[in-house]
Structure 1
Amino acid sequence: MKRLMLAITAALIPVAASAATPEDEAYARALIEKAVSFKSTAKHGETPKMAAWLAGEFRKAGFKKEDVEIVPAGKSVGLIVRYRGDQSAGKAPVVFLGHMDAVEADPADWTTDPFKLVEKDGVFYGRGLVDNKYGVIDLTQTFVRLKKEGFTPTRDLVIAFSGDEETEMATTRALAEKLKDAAFALNSDAGGGSEGVDGKPTVYYIQAAEKTYATFELTIRNSGGHSSQPRADNAIYELASALKKIEAHQFPVMWNDITLRSFEASAANADEKTAEALRRFVNKPGDKKAVKTLSGATHYNAVMRTTCVATMLKGGHAENALPQAATATVNCRIFPGVSVDDVKAELARVAGDPKIEFATLGEPVESPASVLTPEIESAVIAAVRTRYPDASAVPYMEAGGTDGLHFRRAGVPTFAVGSLVLRETDEPNYHGMNETLRVDAFYAGLDHWTRIIKALASPAAP
């Protein structure tokens, strides 16, 4: 692993990229203000309006009509924009991901109007700023800037903005199917950097894998009866007994190159006991002493194995009646390479009650981990170190889920390399009230994608 990092560092690509001008910054500011104004949530349904507006911005910048496509799917739409290259690189396209939709926001809970960009005390307020409208407008202004410069890439570059990442991901599936011939995808919706309160960078994260999100319902039924005559097979008690067994169960320890590299890098900033355990695990994956220590930390435990946890309960129909049914919802985050069916079978075995009915909710998306190549990693590191010369880059596995799940499933290696660098004291509150983004962080990321693109698709690129 260390040899790979040294090789990549030595191969950093010094590709010139013009810095954002005041005019570029003003354009980006106007874009984010307009983007926040769209109520692109499942309830309000304005994502198609946002997609139409963005399509217009690309066409005004000189993109041909046939290269800007709105893709209807499910209850929303996606957007594809193709920046045609001269194909001199002889390489498949690179896809750039973002999502136009945002989670709901109740104006009564906010100190500002969630759908109006407000700047106060060096901070922007607005729903979707961090998740993921900044990523969308950052990629948009990058394509527009490069077009104005007259830049011709050596391979096709393709934007793919989904419209329902926060809900059913129907547009994501449609986009992934249309673009499955891509060499790889770079996602704006995760990854990114962190810095200390002094503004100095600590680390830049590259997301290269995501756990499978799967939810099961466990139900026990019987004929019930009157509460004055309790019976031995009470559905609530039996379900509770099964849940306690699931609570006590730990799935097998697992690892891949991504998690090992993440552990290796994390050791540098961990306390002495944790750092020792991380290094032991890296040197001897599965080391029992290391596993015992790391299992006690929720973050590292989640990285080492599949996890399942009860999240919801319902049961009974009257206070004076024995329950005829009891149901628990169990949410699992499954390590890449492990099937949903295998986890379901293991839960049934652990519960140990054949009367329990197991139902899988929805259609879980299983996707493999992506292999981070020197071509991609060197381009990202070069872009990051232009801003932060001493920053280290660390691949990691996401416990949550993004559009990348569907692209990986379609056979497109996907890496999240967002442009935002958040400070330890930041409170972005995405998905919560008063979502925020520091104004200086907003402007600092405007050259990020330009640098990556020129490292991957300019004549100087390998």
Structure 2
Amino acid sequence: MKRIKRALAGTAGTAGTLVLAASLAAPALAQPAASAPALAPDVAAFRALYQEMIETDTSITTGSCTLLAYKIEAHLRGAGFGDAEIYRFAVPEAPKEGGIVVTLAGTSKTLKPMLLLGHLDVVVAKREDWTRDPYKLIEENGYFYGRGTADMKAMDAIWVDMLARFRKEGTKLPRTIKLALTCGEETSTAFNGARWLTQNKPELIAAEFALNEGGGGRTDGKGSVVVQNLHVGEKVVANFRIEATNPGGHSSAPVRDNAIYELSDAMVKLRDFDFPVMLNDTTRTFFSQAGKARGGELGKAMEAIAANPGDKAAEALLNTDKSFHSMLRTTCVATLVSAGHANNALPQRATANVNCRIFPGVAIEDVRKELERVIADPRMTVALADDRGPPGTPPPLDPKIVGPAQTIAAKYYPKAPLVPFMSTGATDGIYLSAIGIPSYGPPGVIGDPDGNGTHGLNERISVQGVYTARTMLTELVKAYATGK
């Protein structure tokens, strides 16, 4: 095997070498289970790649993105990519959080490159909480189960498989295609590879536009796709530390002035508070068009809120759908708590992390002040806990992006209109927009209304949906790569 070319913060480094040395004998790609239906050879190869990605733990606690980046590199080298086309990276302080950038040169000297972006890391999954092993790809009842099946290793596998097939088949496209698979998207305190690339190697990922997660489609929960989405904007993420402090004392002489009780009261107030409804061009178009396509009582409510954000009856009905509720406003929710220091002592400190997803255009400081107002307790402090990065800039609804997406989405899902969509989550696209690369989430991968266990238990994704997305996204990338 040729000497692996690697980069550690831009230079060959010992940390990356240690991880690589531990994995030189990487196993061959796992094969589908014997009970799986017969697949065409190219689909079987894709499934095997997808399985290996799922079964390589890339969580922040027990996994390694660097190891998976090495496996992806080996796969692409097997397809014919060489040293000059592959760049792997990590930094000494986070040797397991590395990534990879791959370039497939185009034939045009005038078209700017396009970038395919994906994150390799996944949210931590505890085996004892799951029905199935989270780090095994299990196919059951028409779904793939496993951590990362939906967020976002299906798209990662599609990107890698696509470039490998283009190289093997000798596909010549006018526009250069770049692929960047990074770590750190799921953990705000981790090394973020996308951010590092924009700050240290912007020329390596320079592109006219990027395709990223956040788009896809949505079913009615019964298997029928009702809408396809083009992701054209996202919320801003901010974590706030809510803290109560107290002198404490002996637990044998309790008093009402208790830090845990104070924090609990504050969290109940936040639970019962909703930020006001807000709409922008993207969400107004989404609710109007998707509502018209959906029909029924919920569809009418979507159209009504698009026409009049003050329609309380429509808002109340839409609030029963958690994704619509979030899309309509800034949201803040408690995600972590810590309190006390001994079993037999009154707590001296109680803290909670409140994770906010802030509607575009709303200042982080304004949200912090609103939390203070809602809590309304001068004994509590509310402070920004981290820096998630720059606020995302919604990309334009460029006809060169929207047109091919509409055409190809209609070919595969003719009854599901393509509508612009603002993600209620957050992606690494914010780092791209900060250096002038608009990021779009294309249609393709589909999800159910319940969220498919993403970031939760028993994450899953439709088997047929993944295979259809592979074909659909390949066709879409080819369309963009022609520059037409």
TM-score by length of 2: 0.78
Judging changes above 3 Å, is the alpha-carbon distance between structure 1 residues 421 and 238 closer, same or farther for their aligned structure 2 residues?
closer
Counterpart in the other structure of 1:78: 99
Alignment of 1:130 with 2:156, yes or no, is no
SS of equivalent to 2:185: coil
- Residues 430-458 of structure 1 show CA distances to partners (whole Å, capped at 9, x for unaligned) of 44454444443333222222211221122
Judging changes above 3 Å, is the alpha-carbon distance between structure 1 residues 299 and 386 closer, same or farther for their aligned structure 2 residues?
closer
Alignment of 1:173 with 2:195, yes or no, is yes
Judging changes above 3 Å, is the alpha-carbon distance between structure 1 residues 352 and 410 closer, same or farther for their aligned structure 2 residues?
farther
| CA contact 2:289–2:303 (8 Å) conserved in 1 | no
- Cα distance in 2 for partners of 1:422, 1:324 equals 44
Judging changes above 3 Å, is the alpha-carbon distance between structure 1 residues 152 and 309 closer, same or farther for their aligned structure 2 residues?
same
Alignment of 1:382 with 2:400, yes or no, is no
Identity %, equivalent residues: 36
Deviation at 1:214, TM superposition (A): 1.6
Q: Which amino acid aligns with 1:184?
A: F
* 110-119 vs 131-140, which moves further: 110-119
Judging changes above 3 Å, is the alpha-carbon distance between structure 1 residues 371 and 169 closer, same or farther for their aligned structure 2 residues?
farther
- Cα distance in 2 for partners of 1:215, 1:396 equals 24
Counterpart in the other structure of 2:289: 265
Deviation at 1:363, TM superposition (A): 1.3
2:331 alignment partner, one of 291, 295, 307 = 307
Counterpart in the other structure of 1:186: 211
Counterpart in the other structure of 2:481: 457
| CA contact 2:323–2:424 (8 Å) conserved in 1 | no
2:81 alignment partner, one of 63, 68, 78 = 63
SS of equivalent to 2:292: helix
| CA contact 1:315–1:323 (8 Å) conserved in 2 | yes
| CA contact 1:305–1:334 (8 Å) conserved in 2 | yes
Deviation at 1:117, TM superposition (A): 3.8
Deviation at 1:256, TM superposition (A): 0.9
Q: Structure 1: any 5+ residue segments left out of the alignment? A: 1-20
Counterpart in the other structure of 1:32: 50
Q: Which amino acid aligns with 2:331?
A: T
Alignment of 1:26-425 (within 5 A): 26-73=44-91, 74=94, 75-88=96-109, 90-108=110-128, 113-119=133-139, 122-167=142-187, 168=190, 170-177=192-199, 178-179=201-202, 181-187=206-212, 189-195=213-219, 200-225=224-249, 234-236=258-260, 238-240=262-264, 242-243=266-267, 245-247=269-271, 249-268=273-292, 274-286=298-310, 290-291=314-315, 294=318, 298-317=322-341, 322-365=346-389, 366-417=391-442, 419-422=444-447
| CA contact 1:340–1:364 (8 Å) conserved in 2 | no
Counterpart in the other structure of 1:18: none
| CA contact 2:270–2:374 (8 Å) conserved in 1 | yes
RMSD: 3.3
- Residues 175-229 of structure 1 show CA distances to partners (whole Å, capped at 9, x for unaligned) of 3443463222111x33212345775432112222222222212223243445677
Q: Identify the structure with bigger relative contact order (alpha carbons < 8 Å, sequence gap 6+).
A: 1
Judging changes above 3 Å, is the alpha-carbon distance between structure 1 residues 137 and 244 closer, same or farther for their aligned structure 2 residues?
closer
Judging changes above 3 Å, is the alpha-carbon distance between structure 1 residues 87 and 434 closer, same or farther for their aligned structure 2 residues?
same
SS of equivalent to 2:179: strand
| CA contact 1:239–1:326 (8 Å) conserved in 2 | yes
| CA contact 1:45–1:76 (8 Å) conserved in 2 | no
Q: Which amino acid aligns with 2:87?
A: E
SS of equivalent to 2:362: coil
SS of equivalent to 1:70: strand
SS of equivalent to 2:410: helix
Counterpart in the other structure of 2:26: none
- Cα distance in 2 for partners of 1:412, 1:251 equals 31
| CA contact 1:247–1:309 (8 Å) conserved in 2 | yes
- Residues 254-275 of structure 1 show CA distances to partners (whole Å, capped at 9, x for unaligned) of 2111110111123236675554
Q: Structure 2: any 5+ residue segments left out of the alignment? A: 1-38
Q: Which amino acid aligns with 1:158?
A: K
Deviation at 1:384, TM superposition (A): 1.7
Deviation at 1:230, TM superposition (A): 6.9
| CA contact 2:86–2:101 (8 Å) conserved in 1 | yes
